[in-house]
Structure 1
């Protein structure tokens, strides 16, 4: 069976730290896949806020997540500190991807635990229709080219 293999950039424009909460654990005693998706959402909110945006207002456009892919590498446990790195890329007329790298900080080293990518589509919630990516968003969220 083929496995997902994400192509994530090496450079990022935003980093934040999160600590694994007891509520993130599943019956296996480690972070569940559903909890990791919640951590991705938290990191995305912090990334957008850092850029002066919210999911409902990215220079006048709202955002809808159209898809998500996660490549799991290692387990996370209660109390682990995660360094999350983020960048937007692959911009189209109406959307872009947000790429995430999650690393566990242990004994002075960063260990890769997960890679993820969310497809984001710009959306006009009032008109209930997709809209173009507003000007300046690529420069604010992505790497300078």
Structure 2
């Protein structure tokens, strides 16, 4: 079976968000469900960009949309496990903003790793735009660049 391979760019971490597995995040196998992982990633990403003063609905004047998402699962998590979601953002290229997430358990072991590609959209022209310099500066500051 071919699997997606994702390398988490640790040097590009901009935020860490603690949370716990909720009972509503569980599936019939009694572990963290894949759809709940997507929800937890969205929460962590929103928190990360809010901490950068660039909320996802106003990133330099443009809202973001998810263009693609890949997730690999490494371990199970169960209610009420304490987790941390790390968010890393490499330097933007062109019109794409790639965001990586890594969910860690209390032993600092990866539960899941994800890659999300965001596009910022000019809602009038209905087209993607280049990543605004203010977002690039905020990312650089968060990474200590």
User: Structure 2 length as normaliser, TM-score?
Assistant: 0.91
The answer to whether structure 1 residue 3 and structure 2 residue 11 are counterparts is no
Alignment match, 2:87: 86
Structure whose residues are more often strand by fraction? 1
| Deviation at residue 139 of structure 1 after TM alignment | 2.8
The answer to which structure has the higher helix fraction is: 2
Whole-Å Cα distance in 2 between the matches of residues 138 and 53 of structure 1?
10
Pair 1:25-2:23 in alignment: no
Deviation at 1:56, TM superposition (A): 1.3
Q: Distance in 2 between matches of 1:119 and 1:90?
A: 13
- State the 1:141 CA deviation: 2.4
Deviation (angstroms), 1:133: 0.8
Mapped to 1, the partners of 2:77 and 2:88 lie a distance apart of: 22
* CA distance in 2: counterparts of 1:90 and 1:32, whole angstroms: 31
Partner SS state of residue 117, structure 1: strand
Report the equivalent of 2:123: 125
Q: Distance in 2 between matches of 1:140 and 1:74?
A: 32
Q: Which deviates the most, 26-35 or 124-133?
A: 124-133
Q: Which residue is 1:39 aligned to?
A: 40
Aligned residues: 142
Q: Which runs of 5+ in 2 are unaligned?
A: none
- 1:110 is matched with 108
CA RMSD in angstroms comes to 1.4
TM-score (norm 1): 0.91
Aligned partner of residue 105 in structure 2, secondary structure: strand
Q: Is the 8 A contact 1:88 1:138 kept in 2?
A: no
Verify the 8 A CA contact 1:87 1:141 in the aligned structure 2. no
TM-fit CA distance, 1:138: 2.0
Match in the other structure for 1:69: 70
Structure 1 residue runs of 4 or more that deviate by more than 2 Å after TM superposition? 141-145
